Amino acid sequence: MTETIPEMRARHKAEVKAALVEQAEMRISQTEAARNLDMKLTGLNNLVIKLDIYWPVKMQGKYDRSKK
């Protein structure tokens, strides 16, 4: 049976949410996650807000992890 458009949209939304949750669980910043997913930070942040995803790491400004 062929997947319907509404089913395809629901599956895509679930896959996007799963990818973002996976990045959040890695405990990295949204900036790093955006780089990993090859997308802009604003786009990632908009999805995080829209899909109501908890992002545990909050970093503001420029932060270099290598200097720890």
Dist. CA 50–CA 43, nearest whole Å: 10
Dist. CA 63–CA 48, nearest whole Å: 21
Both tokens of 61, joined, read 């400004």
Asked whether 47 and 16 are in contact (CB, 8 A), the reply is yes
**pLDDT reported for residue 39:** 96
Both tokens of 39, joined, read 């997308």
**pLDDT reported for residue 18:** 98
Model pLDDT for residues 40-54, shown as the tens digit of each residue: 999 999 999 999 999
Those residues of the chain that have pLDDT short of 70 are: 60-68
Please report, rounded to a whole number, the percentage of residues in the chain having pLDDT higher than 70: 87
Both tokens of 62, joined, read 């420029």
pTM of the model: 0.81
**pLDDT reported for residue 58:** 83
Length of the chain: 68
Sign of the Cα torsion 14, 47, 29, 40 reads positive
The residue ranges of every structural domain in the chain are 9-58
